[in-house]
């Protein structure tokens, strides 16, 4: 997000937005890595019943049996995906915002604000998707199945080529459009409202709060497609199924709460934290570099 919503000239350079985005993404995902692994463990299964208590039980059991670092299994794959993804998403956001002249010269353009967030996430997703597939497979596997991130790529590519690495891309794109659109739109809108009412630039605390609310809205709007994506990536859904068929199947066999919205309470905890940390960190890095340049 730009550190000034009103003036295009204050936008960070491509290199700065790439770097700040990378730092923001890495910090946000590391913060919630154990929760992320727990969520995927329940998401990909049609038989494991989810409750917040069972999620805490899984975390405790993993810690007791395999140690603290086991909670971060798959986090190297997460970093390998999140760092380029967050870099490209934030950089693309800045560039699309410039291209579409979003909220420039005190002219409010809320629809463009939403579209820009969606475009940025779609661009980043298309480029980094194979890394997401690898991360999902690694996080639900044992060391006997996949010994490393490189092993996941080699084995998956051998089994089904590039198409298998991009399996689940359609529900992912359908999911990131409302997720990123809502998140970026909510965050930017809250910033504008705050600045218009106070005449001041918001503090990091307010940015964190705006980001958390943005994350909550974004997560809830796209969650069922996240379930479909994870199951496609990890081979829990027959190949050749469309996202719509998968959604209908999960709804009929597992219902809403235990199927399409399985693990949502975990997402309501981790999603807002991740988005809040990400947005706040990005803006802070951009501000700090801006001050150093003066």
- CATH number, domain of 235, equals 1.50.40.10
> Tokens in use for 259?
């199927």
Banded pLDDT at 223 (limits 50, 70, 90): confident
Q: pTM here?
A: 0.77
Which segment of 177-181, 246-250, 267-271 scores lowest on mean pLDDT?
267-271
Bigger pLDDT: 288 or 259?
288
What's residue 184's pLDDT? 96
Asked whether residue 54 is assigned to any structural domain, the reply reads yes
Phi first, then psi: what are they for 190, rounded to 5°? -65, -40
Residue 4 has pLDDT above 70, yes or no: no
Q: Mean pLDDT over residues 259-268, rounded?
A: 79
Q: Are 224 and 247 in contact (CB under 8 A)?
A: yes
Give the DSSP letter of residue 145. Answer: T
Average pLDDT over residues 181-200: 96
Count of domains forming the chain = 1
Assigned domain for 293 exists: no
Residue 8 lies in a domain: no
Its domain, for residue 57, covers: 15-285
- The reply to whether 219 falls in a domain is yes
Residue the block writes with tokens 């579209």? 115
* Average of per-residue pLDDT values in the chain: 86
Residue range 122-165, pLDDT digits in tens: 999 999 998 888 877 877 777 778 877 788 888 888 888 888 88
Residue keyed to tokens 């639900």: 140
pLDDT computed for residue 264 by the predictor: 77
Q: For residue 185, is it within any domain?
A: yes
Is residue 5 pLDDT above 50, yes or no?
Answer: no
Task: Tell me whether residue 290 is in a domain.
Answer: no
Q: Residue 5 domain-assigned?
A: no
Look at residue 114 and tell me if it is in a domain.
yes
Whole-angstrom distance, CA of residue 176 vs CA of residue 129: 12
Highest mean pLDDT among 60-64, 104-108, 147-151: 104-108
């Amino acid at each position: 997000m730009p550190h000034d919503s009103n003036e295009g000239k204050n936008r960070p350079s491509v290199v700065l937005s790439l770097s700040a985005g990378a730092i923001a993404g890495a910090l946000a995902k590391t913060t919630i890595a154990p929760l992320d692994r727990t969520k995927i463990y329940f998401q990909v299964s049609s038989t494991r019943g989810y409750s917040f208590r069972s999620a805490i039980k899984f975390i405790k059991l993993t810690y007791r049996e395999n140690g603290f670092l086991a909670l971060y299994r798959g986090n190297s794959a997460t970093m390998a995906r999140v760092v380029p993804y967050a870099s490209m998403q934030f950089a693309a956001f800045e560039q699309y915002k410039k291209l579409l002249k979003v909220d420039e010269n005190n002219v409010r353009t809320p629809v463009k604000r939403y579209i820009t967030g969606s475009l940025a996430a779609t661009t980043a997703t298309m480029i980094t998707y194979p890394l997401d597939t690898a991360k999902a497979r690694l996080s639900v596997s044992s060391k006997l199945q996949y010994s490393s991130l490189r092993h996941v790529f080699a084995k998956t590519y051998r089994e089904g080529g590039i198409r298998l690495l991009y399996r689940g891309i359609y529900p992912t794109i359908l999911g990131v459009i409302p997720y990123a659109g809502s998140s970026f739109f909510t965050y930017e809108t809250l910033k504008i409202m705050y600045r218009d009412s106070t005449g001041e630039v918001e503090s990091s605390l307010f940015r964190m709060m705006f980001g958390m609310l943005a994350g909550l809205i974004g997560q809830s709007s796209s969650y069922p497609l996240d379930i479909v994506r994870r199951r496609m990536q990890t081979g829990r859904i027959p190949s050749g199924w469309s996202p719509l068929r998968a959604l209908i199947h999960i709804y009929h066999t597992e219902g809403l709460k235990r199927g399409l919205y399985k693990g949502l309470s975990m997402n309501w905890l981790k999603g807002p934290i991740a988005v809040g940390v990400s947005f706040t960190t990005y803006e802070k890095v951009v501000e700090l570099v801006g001050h150093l340049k003066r």
